[in-house]
Chain A
């Protein structure tokens, strides 16, 4: 039996919540701002309350849309056409747009590689790595140091970057993998910070906060890739390579073992999978790509400094993986696209970018933990 008092309380709830929140807001911005905040939030909450009954219908419509897109993509003829069109667009882009967009596109490419690498660790295997940026930094600084101190070219230094980063990942994993989920996260975070502190303070080797400049871009047959459009194609090739290899590994025994570990580690172990070994593989394989991305970053910016490798970067890459849906390769590529393009597109509201990221993370976890495109669950088709 709903009493009158109960009904009034129900109606008043949005206002009470808005009042509470604006009281919390009060010391920080003053009385007038708090009143404004109260007004905005009341309107917001009342409209949420109003639209709540329609949520069911909305999610149903969204699901039908999702299914429609899926059935469209399964039809191989149409999907082939779509893919050709997208490929053509990507390949012809440098001729159609300004340098600024090519720059952004190169950055997107590098982040795609990073996100794919993290996806292996977090998405496939379910190990939360909050210090991924450390490996990005190791890859970048390895090439930077080899190039500026020993004059080694990109192609000769690249294997070093890759191997050293991978070995670092492996070495971190050996002790770290004994730990449970949350502790692993903190340890990786700690490792990330330690690497950044070392890069910042070991002046004799890394020149500290001044960074290393004058890094040569890659060259083939004395054609330097310094020109932006050339670099764009180079990055594109590497992205394709990364996608191809990651996809193939996902479909292989190793990839299946990783997903098994993610879904239920004890059952996987009972099935005969050496979980420790495969987790080590995951770390080594994932960080390998971070090394590649780092070397590409170095070659493009021709300058590295510890400032590019903060914890926030790790969080950003993690967001790309989460946004795309843990484990889904296409999703992760999308996530990287969105999280690199959105700040560029919304340049005017740059200040609120991080604020929105924080709120977005919480909302994503509560309402759509499977990412924008979904994609959890064991399936060989990403």
Chain B
């Protein structure tokens, strides 16, 4: 039972981790909590369903399932990244020099807009993802793990490692780290700030899209309101791991997933959503830097 909950927790945690990566990156660069990020995740889930339905309608799914899935993935990622890019250009770029409150409130506005946008265009009822995978899985040591769960956990880890390598080894990654450290100086050494910020949003949104797709496949049901709660939990995960740290987002996400899963089964199932908030408050009071971050000093 415990091991089973462990696996469930890791699966859910991997999803949180992917979303948390986007939060972490954007906060590291802009010091902005992108409230709308959770909605991008929700968009990814919806787009996955929409594209799959499209491919099913033109007969591709029946003809060649893996191809249809891959195309669905690719298209969802492209579209979500575009949404992220557009949102940044419209709602955050004009407010880059404004006091901290303004972009935060703007982000809340975008979040509200996207939720209602999807509700109005796609309906308020849950949308179903066709159960293509069933519960095919394998068994070891009295626990059962489906292939889907394995896929989610593995792809999350792979994507995190890839991102970390990108940020630490490539030139673009170095530029991102530079912008996160000091925007003015980075622009003075010739880095195009706008490009880097856009890139950050694009990558973050792409990862959120993957997370959304996985959730759509895993739970089979999506709703326009899943973005809000997932967003808050992913932000908690990002803070837990240390905001701005990629490793932190991964570990924070997994840890949060575990706590939620184990807490939900052993303490109380009703308050499952509250665990994230409680953890958030505790972390921010005890160690605001999170697991992998440093407690930063207030700049004068």
Residue numbers of A with Cβ under 8 A of B are: 20-21, 23-24, 27-29, 126, 128, 130, 175, 178-183, 185-187, 189-191, 193-194, 197-198, 201, 266, 311-312, 315, 318, 322, 351-352, 354-355, 357-362, 365-366, 369
Contact = CB atoms under 8 A, between A and B. Distances in A.
A61 to B, nearest CB: 24
A179 B100 CA distance: 14
Given A186-B280, A194-B274, A201-B270, A28 B105 contact: no
B151 interface: no
B133 interface: no
Query: Majority SS of interface residues in chain A?
Result: helix
B267 interface: no
Interface residues of B, number: 56
B258 interface: no
Given A191-B277, A194-B274, A181 B101 contact: yes
Given A179-B284, A193-B274, A355 B120 contact: yes
A369 B280 CA distance: 30
B281 A190 contact: yes
Nearest to B106: A365
B276 to A, nearest CB: 8
Nearest to A322: B105
A21 B120 CA distance: 17
Contacts of A201: 270-271
Interface of B: 31-33, 46-47, 50-51, 54, 79, 82-83, 86, 90-91, 94-95, 98, 100-106, 108-118, 120-122, 228, 232, 235, 239, 270-271, 273-274, 276-278, 280-281, 284-285, 288, 298, 300
A311 B231 CA distance: 14
Nearest to A28: B121
B33 A185 contact: yes
A179 B118 CA distance: 34
Contacts of A178: 285
B100 A366 contact: no
Contacts of B228: 311
Contact of B33 (A182, A190, A360): A182
A44 to B, nearest CB: 14
Given A359-B113, A365-B106, A193 B235 contact: no
Given A28-B122, A355-B117, A193 B232 contact: yes
Contacts of B112: 312, 315, 354-355, 357-358, 361
A358 B107 CA distance: 9
Given A191-B277, A366-B106, 18 more contacts: A23-B82, A24-B79, A27-B47, A128-B101, A128-B104, A175-B285, A186-B232, A201-B271, A266-B300, A315-B108, A354-B112, A355-B113, A357-B112, A358-B114, A358-B115, A361-B112, A362-B106, A365-B105
A271 to B, nearest CB: 15
Contacts of A354: 112, 115-116
Contact of B110 (A126, A194, A311, A358): A358
Closest 4 CB pairs of A and B: A361-B109, A358-B113, A358-B112, A190-B277
B24 to A, nearest CB: 13
Contact of B116 (A21, A181, A318, A358): A358
Contacts of A186: 33, 232, 235, 239, 280
A303 to B, nearest CB: 23
A149 B232 CA distance: 35
A189 B232 contact: yes
A361 B274 contact: no
Contacts of B101: 126, 128, 181
